Chains A and B, each alone.
Chain A
């Protein structure tokens, strides 16, 4: 091995170990093993879940990439594949499941609905995209995405994982991460992070109503006065 060989470790390796030892960074080996054993959560929401099952079956077989172990418990899962339409009635459970997953954890928005509401975006009980609540790592377009597209999304996630570093990963910081507040079902979905916004909107609406009432009263007074004067005459 010459000094100019880019793969050379620049150490003296004893001849009997040459070809037996690989030297790499901790980040690389750690990410390599992690990204090739992503366990998805066994959790389907809608149509996309059927294509997710098809991806797990023989023709597409995502166990080739180390993802065959689907876990029904969020505690054992690495990635949440949000496979389908997220509704307001379901999103508290989805947020709770995400909070229950142990770090490092990833979210894959599979299909148009999970990414942005899709064909059902205008629906009154549909959340227009799971990214309103969860941090999404990879979006997969399609309605539903084909198994090839899902595989591509998972491989993209692997690439993303391979670029991470132990030094900068948020889940190895001293400060523990805070769970996402679970939304509440009221007359409409309530996001606890939006209490201020809801209050401000109420104030604005009340103010607008008061102004409208005042304007109406003024208009009535202005319109009523001449009539009264006329009647007096």
Chain B
């Protein structure tokens, strides 16, 4: 499959011989583009070669070579493998042209790269910090930037057990806390940045029907019952109508990537659980696939099936949860939630039995899974898949789909057209509800999804109602996959080779992506041949789907913003990482 796709990658070197060259480092792929000509190349890729979907932007700090490398992953929305572009820039004076005007979906991702790695994107309309705050000192993902609780470059830390005596890192910091200030910092006269810079980026409208109206700024969150966590929305309102809107995030920025680059490869597995904490199994899946790609190994046959079973159960769980939350946001407070949590508990029972934890499963290993199914669990899964869950999905469908309030509040609200959905790099149910039948399980198959018979759900209105219907339909399709996987589940070992705590990963890069319940979940991992990843980046679907929030909300009512947010189905652990 991948060979055929590789042939379809356009020959950019012949097209732009002066600006583009192949990335010839061992273990790397893609094209290196001269920074000054990035826009021309991207323009040709989008309009001539059909690479209309800019999935992921990240950067790597190659400190020994004294350069930053921005990495772009582009796809065709009709399916196929990735085209990788790389742009190199100096560390001291980093300047790369922004792609926001070609691919609006780049907006939040470029801000993130600026914030964490300090790559300046010229031409970006709103290049402010996104995960940290204005005034934060330094760009934390640079390799020479050290956190206040710094111990060593990589784990395992020697300091933890010197001669059997654990040492607390707090005792080595003058504040007994993870704090560090620049030399000579005068804390008392410091005035923090207000939100003026943020508010000034809102585009003010011209008033309605020729009337001169007053526009006001309303903040929702970060503590607000409808924002699904610590998310903040700044909306500019004219009466009740949303004129412009900005998502503000970073209130749960837990430094997954910095910690991940200190960790060994396997130590990152439990951290992936805590990204999208509703779907730990599918997070494990993406990371395991990526590192396996670097290692060049395949999991055993039984492990492949177990992985698919767990990932699809997760998808059912997530979609039920998302529907429950959407109804919460619509005002049906907690009653639908109680229905869906009942089913979630039954699925979590299975996860607890196989992995030992309800939510943070840490179940996948490189080359397999950590434990086999305990006695009786297969029957439990069968009962759920063949009997209970189909009934319960139909029950939700019967109660909700025809409900007058649901239809009145959801139909035609928060519309995202197909062109917008692709341009804004949305993925998962949001993309498919806008009429793009793009599902990575089909478009760029991974694991053993090419063996199963299922439909890629697609709907065409792009409104909240379609996103809701897509989720129900996908849960049904997941049950179809589960039924086939349970039928074919072979006996055999669950792990290729011996269990290892430390794996030596060959130098190189890998980007692995799975169709997570919320959209394309990608991991970009760079190894320099040691026991720890040099770069560990997560392409979080709900983060990038939020780029479309403003587009969906403009012109609507403020009350609908809450529902639109519910229909995107965000989880903050993944947005802020």
A127 CB contacts on chain B under 8 angstroms: 178
Kindly state whether residue A57 has any CB partner on chain B within 8 Å. Answer: yes
Interface membership of B489, Cβ < 8 A: no
Q: Say yes or no for B454: interface residue by CB 8 A criterion.
A: no
User: What residues of chain A lie closer than 8 Å to B92, measured between beta carbons?
Assistant: none
Residues of A within 8 A of B360 (CB): 47, 143-144
Are the C-beta atoms of B254 and A120 separated by less than 8 Å? yes
A62–B201 CA distance with the chains assembled, in angstroms: 44
Bound: A125/B140 CA distance, A: 10
B408 at the interface (CB under 8 A from A): no
Q: CB of B397 within 8 A of chain A?
A: no
Instruction: Please tell me if the beta carbons of B187 and A186 are within 8 angstroms of each other in the complex.
Output: yes
How many Å lie between the Cα of A72 and that of B227 in the bound state? 12
B254 partner residues in chain A, CB cutoff 8 A: 46, 85, 87, 120, 123, 125-126
Query: From residue 260 to 300 of chain B, which have CB atoms closer than 8 A to chain A?
Result: 262, 270-271, 274, 277-278
A201 x B175 contact (CB < 8 A): yes
Within 8 A of B (CB), among A40-90: 42-47, 49-51, 53-54, 56-59, 72, 84-85, 87, 89-90
Nearest-CB residue, chain A, relative to B248:
A89
Query: B262 contacts which chain A residues (CB < 8 A)?
Result: 122
Pairwise interchain contact B252-A202, C-beta atoms closer than 8 A: no
- Contacts A58-B338, A123-B147, A186-B181: A45 and B252 contacting too (C-beta < 8 A)? yes
Q: How far is the CA of A107 from the CA of B479 in the complex (A)?
A: 42
List the B side residues contacting A144 at CB < 8 Å.
277, 359-360
Closest to A200 in B: B174
* C-alpha gap A84/B573 in the complex (Å): 10
A50 CB contact (under 8 Å) in B174, B180, B278: B278
Contact, CB under 8 Å: A93 / B190: no
Residue among A47, A187, A206 making CB contact with B137, cutoff 8 Å: A187
Q: Which residues of A contact B135 (CB under 8 A)?
A: 185-187
Q: How far does the Cβ of B260 sit from chain A's closest Cβ, in whole Å? A: 11
Find chain A residues with CB under 8 A from B230 CB. Answer: 44-46, 90
State whether B225 touches A42 (Cβ < 8 A).
Answer: yes
Is A198 an interface residue when CB atoms closer than 8 A count as contact? yes
Shortest CB distance A152–B (Å): 16
Which of B95-103, B105-113, B341-349 lies on the face that meets chain A?
B341-349
A184-B185 Cα distance, complex, nearest whole Å: 14
B533: CB under 8 A from chain A?
no
- A16–B342 CA distance with the chains assembled, in angstroms: 49
A-B contact count (CB 8 A): 169
B358 interface contact, C-beta 8 A: yes
Q: Which residues of B208-235 have CB atoms within 8 Å of chain A's CB atoms?
A: 222-225, 229-230
Q: B181 touching A198 by the CB < 8 A rule?
A: yes
- Given the interface pairs A43-B223, A187-B181, A195-B188, the reply to whether A122 lies near B359 with Cβ below 8 Å is no
- Range of interface residues on chain B? 35 or more
CB pair A122–B187 under 8 Å, yes or no, is no
Q: Tell which of B170, B182, B253 touches A125, judged by Cβ atoms closer than 8 Å.
A: B253
Q: B572 contacts the other chain (Cβ, under 8 Å)?
A: yes
| Number of A residues, CB within 8 Å of B | 55
* A121 interface residue per 8 A CB criterion: yes
- Given known A90-B222, A184-B190, contact A122–B259 (CB-CB < 8 A): yes
Q: Which residues of B contact A97 (CB under 8 A)?
A: 223
Please tell me if the beta carbons of A46 and B252 are within 8 angstroms of each other in the complex: yes
Contacts of B190 in A (CB 8 A): 184, 186, 190
Closest CB in chain A relative to B219 CB, distance in Å: 11
B278, A188: Cβ atoms closer than 8 Å: no
Return the chain A residue nearest B255 by Cβ.
A123
A43 to B177, CA, bound (A): 25
B174 in contact with A201 (CB, 8 Å): yes
B492 in contact (CB, < 8 A): no
Q: Is A21 close to B, CB under 8 A?
A: no
In the docked arrangement, what's the CA distance between A43 and B262, Å?
Answer: 32
Contacts of A119 in B (CB 8 A): 259, 270-271, 274
The answer to the question of B28 belonging to the interface, with a C-beta cut-off of 8 Å to chain A, is no
Q: Is A26's beta carbon under 8 Å from chain B?
A: no
- Contacting residues, chain A, for B45 (C-beta < 8 A): none
CA A144 – CA B270 in complex, angstroms? 12
B573 x A47 contact (CB < 8 A): yes
- Having A87-B253, A124-B140, A124-B148, one finds 4 other A-B pairs with CB under 8 Å, namely A84-B252, A187-B185, A206-B184, A209-B183
Q: Shortest 9 CB-CB distances between A and B: which pairs?
A: A123-B255, A187-B137, A47-B277, A57-B341, A124-B147, A72-B225, A120-B254, A90-B251, A198-B187
Q: List 22 A-B contacts (CB under 8 A).
A: A46-B572, A47-B274, A50-B277, A53-B341, A58-B341, A59-B342, A87-B252, A87-B253, A89-B250, A119-B270, A123-B259, A124-B148, A144-B360, A185-B192, A186-B192, A187-B137, A188-B136, A190-B190, A194-B187, A197-B175, A202-B184, A202-B185
